[in-house]
Amino acid sequence: MLTRLLFLVLALCSFLQLTFTLARVTAELETNFAVPTVWLAVTSRRNAMLTGLARMTPAVLLPDSVASGQTENCVAGCDNKAYCDPGGYGEFAEHAKCPLNVCCSKWGYCGMTSEFCGDKKVKRPSASYSPSTPLYTIVGYYEGWSHERPCHSFFPEQIPLGIYTVERPLHLNYAFGAIDPDTFEVKLASTEEEDLIKRLARLKTQDPDLKVFIALGGWSYNDPGPTRSTFSNLATSKDAQKKFFKSLISFLSTYNLDGVDLDWEYPGPDDIVERGGREEDFANFPTFLRALKEALKSAGGRDGLTVTLPASYWFLQHFDIVEMEKHVDFFNIMTYDLHGAWDRGNKWLGPYLLAHTNLTEIQDAMDLLWRNEIPSKKVVMGTAFYGRAFTATSTSCMEPGCTFESAGNKGPCSRENGILLNSEIMDIIDDRGLTPTLYKEAGVKVAHWDDQWVAYDDEETLQLKVDYALGLNLGGVMVWAVSHDTPTRQFSNAFYARAANRHGMILKEIDDNHHDQVQIKKTIDQCKWTNCGDGCPNGYQPATRIDGNKHNVGELMMDSTACENELHILCCPETSMPTCGWYKHSNSFCDYTCPDGTVEVGSTNGGCHSGYQAACCSVGTSDKKMPSMDVYDSCVWAGEASDCNADCPILKKYEQLSSAEGSGAVKCKPDQERKYCCYDDDDNKWTGGDWYKFENMFVQFVDDPLRCSSDCPGNMYRLAMERTGVCKNKPGAMSYCALNSRYDTEWKEQQNVTDLKDALGHFFQSPTCPNQDSGGLSTRDVSDSQARTQARTVLISILSAAYYNSDLIADYISYWNLKIQDYYSNLQFPGFRDDLNDWSGNIYSLDIENLADDILCNLEAYDDLASSSPVLSCSATNECADADSDCANAEWDETCSDFSTIEKRVGASRLYCFVYDDQTGGEGDTAMHSSQYQTVSEPSRNSDVRLRVIIYRDLADCANTEVQMVFLPSGNTYNGRPVHMEHIMEMNTEGRFLSDITYGRLDETSINAYTPVPAGFVSDAWINGPNINPATWGPPIGGGQSLTNSWWPSVRIFEAYGSLRNQDNFFILDAYLNFLKNRVWMWRRWNRGPLADSSMTTYVNDMTNPDRALTRMRSVITIFRYLNAEEVRRALRAQYREIGAERWIANQAWNLANPTQTFDIRPIWIAWFRNHVNGMITTSTSFLNRWLDDMETNWQGQTGPLAVRVLGDIERLRVQIRNGAVNIRIDDF
């Protein structure tokens, strides 16, 4: 008993020594983390902390004093346990081992440094490599929102092909799709993204090795909200998985995708990981993956499955990577974002300037995988095409390890603090003339300016990371994100030398100049011996003798060998007649040696006491060959007349046949045969030869079994005769017959290429266009329709081609240029494509199919626009340039007695007057002030509103109504044109609405639409304010709480319209568009200013300057393009809802104070606004149709290039109206 008690006491004392408070540890760690000055020291400390975290406690890293047992500052607690069991702890340890097989120290804590592991080392994979060693995998993520950036927008076609492919054919990942939290169906965010993912998949037509995956999840997917626990719920529920599998397989098929990448950030208990997961996720995720992989195998080859993993121990420990590896193609490791602004406030990391992609920490993160024996080929290391940026504490300390105060300033394109795209970083470096610093061991570049500091990867450091990956024998590298690249694809191109597959891409060596042609092999007929008694076939003539033993001029080359009372005749193609003869006979002694320049084609021993005579024909010279003798010239009989055995010569080593009698009259020694030796040339040889192996046709005569036939089929050539086997000691002989495979290779244009060129030529000579009214083609016959279809296919292919074109696109450009140059010379590529790109800002941002249709229907217009001096341009004049311009027209303003007044000082608070029904038989009028707001010159460079600048996409094209969003760093002009601060919801809306609701009308023509709102609500409460307490009725809008009169409804409402405090929904708009938009918005007062009848009559009748009328009509449509732009529409919807909410706040206060006059303003606002939008649409459509008709009438009788252009642009504007361009989508408001 005493012994047992003593053991328990000792055990308790030992354990008490292992359990302690964090005071001493904290003090030492904070001392160790004083401002670091050495890069590697900083990164290794940070990594030690990060990878040592076994729980959310700093006690995982023991300073030397504690590790050595000096625990005087530690206090014991009987309820505390060690985290892991280093051996013998048993029930006094929470876990038997550490997560991810990291080391358990002798004190029972988990970590990866020597304090925990001692001398134990990680067994890392390795491989040798050279500068030419290719990467097995290069994976690129494309962001589905990258096209929305105001600068450096990026579209699928800008991705350089031939890089993001692998030996196992993968891939580009589209980021991100989402899983519906209720139905578990796979979805995209918008119809716009549907177009983008289709365009990404369409790249596979140009790169046959490319695969495209859908990436599901992402960091924000697990942010607080409805999708926070979706992954965890899915991994838990078999029923949810069935729904998900069915939807995913359908999704992959619909968008022609090849697999799925799961980016769950992150599984694990929500009270620890704080990402919406469960404890069971660790076991559920691998089970889910196994079921998913099995389901995908039934998807017809769309079974790719990858998973994204963190490089952080804290998150990675909740993934069962050992089990997961069995079911995935590979892991994408996010070895980036190792540092960021989040380090500030974290006492274990600290606000230090550190690179988010440094190799020092990446190596330790990779060690977590090697500890678990993950195959290196299943690991794809992440790289970043962006940098993490910081605002430094002091400009005198800008080295790694110095401190920062906050995230770096947001870039104009990325629009997020703390992140700069590589494309933005390159702009900054170029603009400021910076010289970045390379930290080679860490594998990063650093640039700094003012108080800004950014670490990033460029071509040089990406190569360092590639070398690192190759040295570990990794599966490859992954890029987040290809859509961060520069317009010249600077960083993707850094991978070209390591790309494993370049099929069809620009780096491919093209050794075939005939890829658009078909190879025609034309047989070149050879001289041939006829069958016994036959004449020459068609196209052949008998060869004549020229040898000295001929009996007369014109004597034919004949041979009686193996013929009975008949002759073989040597016949040659009449277009290629050689000179021939029998050589040589002298007093019965025969010499078979052929003269120089001739070869043996047959033999006879008639009249020869010894030897044989050879039939020899000329083969031509090296300069002028004899085609009919080419195959004979490629062969030679080896050996001598009697001593026949001999090997084939080196140059003619292919043995065609062997014969004991050579070509027919040789007498070899017993058991010897003479070999017929030839070149092995596919286009110049005898093929299909045999000794009578054709169903007994030639072996012997059926009617005379004692005689053999020396005949050959009509399409074959006799090369040798022999009297052996069944023909031994019998009349006649068997013949060796072969086919002639002498071909002359000709290249003929493929018929489909010829047809395509003909179609292009036909179309350009007489272009046709779809008839929008009838829905058919304005065409003379079917061939016109077919020609246009072909032209459309070619043009769409050229315009939508990826940055690195395939041979097919190069061919299309060649065909297009060849056929269009005589008709529309300015529309040749690549020049025309460059023009389109300049006009649009980025050609890939356009609807390519619509653009192609517009070009084909308006070839003259585009040809003129692409010329150096177009006859019609709408950029020649500035509408706001002088005092007589539209912008200065007094008709823009309305007097207070009319409706409202707008003070001239832009940005100032404006006074609005309006009339209302006093509901006593008369009318009242009142006034209210709007909120002050910034002018366009006031926002700082870093202001969000400077990222929301809307301009004409192509000002010169009078029928181009598209807009584009750009970045304006400063000033109040863009490309020389003034721009204005823009309220999307015009502030004159308020007075108009308040006036109408007192009459119970939607507008002057829609009266008695509802019960009028009490006049007092408008005349008194709205302006002076009922007793509204914001704390009771709702928070103040846009910072209104700071206003002394924030309880006034009019003040709160105008805050929602936009103010100095509420700038979220402002845009900067081209000044002329801003003026016209005000006119369109005030559709009930249309007939004023530049759109009034008087003004339009002047413009439309101006036959010298048609651009004046076209500009105004084009701009009306452009206003609707602007209001339908996704970001603008989102802002308009937000304003509509905010204003509606403020109206309801005031309404509730009124109802409480006036119980006998209660009403509900919400349905009134909905109905009024819908009617207002409809009024804008119908009034604008009517205006456009009227004046387009009048202008067309004026120009119909005119001729010449200008008339063609004007009439063409009128029709182009009409087409857009018919296609619904004059519309505002408010169905989701």
Three-state DSSP at 614 gives strand
DSSP string over 643-703 = S---PPPGGG-EEEEEETTTTTT--PPTT--EEEEE---TTSSEEEEEES-STTTTTS-SS
Q: Please state, in angstroms and rounded to a whole number, the distance separating the CA atoms of residues 762 and 780.
A: 12
Lowest pLDDT segment from 27-31, 402-406, 776-780, 915-919: 27-31
| Average pLDDT of the segment spanning 192-205 | 89
pLDDT at 350: 93
Distances (CA, A) of 356 to 275, 409, 450, 594: 22, 17, 21, 83
> What's the pTM value of the predicted model, to 2 decimals?
0.68
| Average pLDDT of the segment spanning 521-535 | 93
For the cut 60, the answer to whether the pLDDT of residue 640 exceeds it is yes
For the cut 90, the answer to whether the pLDDT of residue 38 exceeds it is no
Q: Please state, in angstroms and rounded to a whole number, the distance separating the CA atoms of residues 1223 and 1124.
A: 8
pLDDT at 13: 36
Three-state DSSP at 1215 gives helix
Give alpha helix (H) positions in 371-514: 422-432, 459-471
Distances (CA, A) of 312 to 375, 442, 845: 19, 18, 37
For the cut 50, the answer to whether the pLDDT of residue 100 exceeds it is yes
Q: Are 1205 and 872 in contact (CB under 8 A)?
A: yes
Express each pLDDT in 1057-1090 by its tens digit: 999 888 889 999 999 999 999 989 999 988 766 7
What are the chain's domains? 2-117 (no CATH), 137-384+458-498 (3.20.20.80), 520-747 (no CATH), 749-865 (no CATH), 886-1218 (no CATH)
Q: Please state, in angstroms and rounded to a whole number, the distance separating the CA atoms of residues 1096 and 592.
A: 103
Q: Please state, in angstroms and rounded to a whole number, the distance separating the CA atoms of residues 493 and 35.
A: 38
Express each pLDDT in 1153-1203 by its tens digit: 889 999 999 999 999 999 999 999 999 999 999 999 999 999 999 999 999
Q: Please state, in angstroms and rounded to a whole number, the distance separating the CA atoms of residues 367 and 826.
A: 59
| Average pLDDT of the segment spanning 837-866 | 90
Which residue from 569, 565, 610 is spatially nearest to 591, judged by alpha carbons?
Answer: 610
CA angle 842, 844, 848 (to 5 degrees): 125
pLDDT at 1062: 87
Which residue from 741, 647, 618, 731 is spatially nearest to 689, judged by alpha carbons?
Answer: 741
Lowest pLDDT segment from 345-359, 411-425, 442-456, 1075-1089: 1075-1089
Identity at 431, one-letter amino acid code = D
pLDDT at 1088: 67
pLDDT at 232: 98
Extract the tokens encoding 768: 């046709």
Q: Are 1120 and 1224 in contact (CB under 8 A)?
A: yes
Place of tokens 């007793």: 1027
| Average pLDDT of the segment spanning 594-618 | 93
pLDDT at 158: 87
Burial of 913 (0-12, 13-18, 19+ CB in 10 A): middle
DSSP string over 390-403 = EEES-TT--STT-B
46 DSSP 8-state letter: H
| Average pLDDT of the segment spanning 1109-1128 | 95
Q: How far is CA 1091 from its chain centroid? A: 43
Q: Please state, in angstroms and rounded to a whole number, the distance separating the CA atoms of residues 1161 and 1013.
A: 8
For the cut 80, the answer to whether the pLDDT of residue 975 exceeds it is yes
pLDDT at 112: 87
Lowest pLDDT segment from 15-19, 301-305, 600-604, 1104-1108: 15-19
